[in-house]
Amino acid sequence: MLDNITSSSFLTTDQYAEDQIAALSGEDELGRDAFLTLLTTQLTNQNPLDPMDNEAFVAQLAQFSSVEGIKGMQASLETMVGGMREEQMLTGASLVGKKVAVEGGFFDGGNGAMSQGSIDLPNGAESVILSVYDPASGNLIFRETQGGQMPGRHELNWNGRNREGELAPSGSYVMNASIVRNGKLEAAPVTTMAEVKSVSWDPETQELSLEVGDGDFVTLAAVERIGL
C-alpha cells in the first residue's frame, strides 16, 4: 500500500525538477523569483523516501548565486563600456575641424600653400624621395629627390605645385616618402598634420575613428599630437 501511495502521490526530486523545467520552458529566462518558487515547490513536493540531499541543495543555491553574480557583473561592464563610448565620442567631436598628427600622409593642401610632413630616420639615409599623390585618382602630382640625411626626424615640405611648377588645385592629398639606405630603396612612414572631418564609432573594434581624408579613417590611438 505504501508503495502505491508513494508512486501516485510523490515524485522523485529529479522527476519533479524535470516537470517544472518543462513547464517553464516557454519563458526566455529563469529569474530570481521563479527560481525560488521552483526550489520551494520542489522541496515541498519531494518524495519523503527520496529527499534532496544537502549537497544537491547547496549546489543549486551556489549555481544560482554564480549566475546572478555574472549577470550583475555583465550589466556593470556594459554600463562602463557605454560610458567610455560616450566620453570618447565627446572627445572626438571636439577634434572635428582641428589638425592631428597621424601616420599615413593624408593632408589638405595645394594652390601654392606650404604643406609639411615628417619621417623618422633612426639610421639616416643616403637620399630621400618625396612624392605627393591625388588619393582619388592615384595620379602623381609632385616628386622631389633630396640628398643624404643624418639620423633623426626629417621634415618634408611641398609648395602646393605640380611637377610642371603650376599651382595644384586645393584638395586632399597623400604624402609618400622612400629612402635609399645601403643602396636599397625602403619605404618611410610619413606623419602629417591632417584635418579631422568627422568621427565615428567602430562597433567591431570598439574604438573611435577619425576621418582625416576622403573616406580615410584612423583610430584615436594613432594620433601622435593635436594642433589648431
Compute the 3-state secondary structure of the chain and give helix, strand, coil in percent, each to the nearest 5.
Answer: 35, 35, 30
Q: 104 — alpha (psi -120 to 50), left (phi > 0) or beta?
A: left
Higher pLDDT, 211 or 69: 211
**C-alpha cell at position 26:** 516557454
Are residues 191 and 134 located together in one domain of the fold? yes
User: Domain ends where: 92, 114, 138?
Assistant: 92
What is the Cα gyration radius of the chain? 34
Are residues 8 and 63 located together in one domain of the fold? yes
pLDDT digits (tens, 9 = 90+) for 74-86: 666 666 665 666 6
Domain that holds residue 112: 99-226
Are residues 134 and 81 located together in one domain of the fold? no
pLDDT digits (tens, 9 = 90+) for 10-54: 445 555 555 555 554 444 455 556 666 766 676 676 666 666 566
User: Domain ends where: 67, 92, 117?
Assistant: 92
Are residues 116 and 78 located together in one domain of the fold? no
C-alpha neighbours within 13 Å on the C-beta side of residue 71: 10
Q: Is the pLDDT of residue 3 over 50?
A: no
**C-alpha cell at position 175:** 604624402
- Name the domain count of the chain: 2
The pLDDT assigned to 8 comes to 40
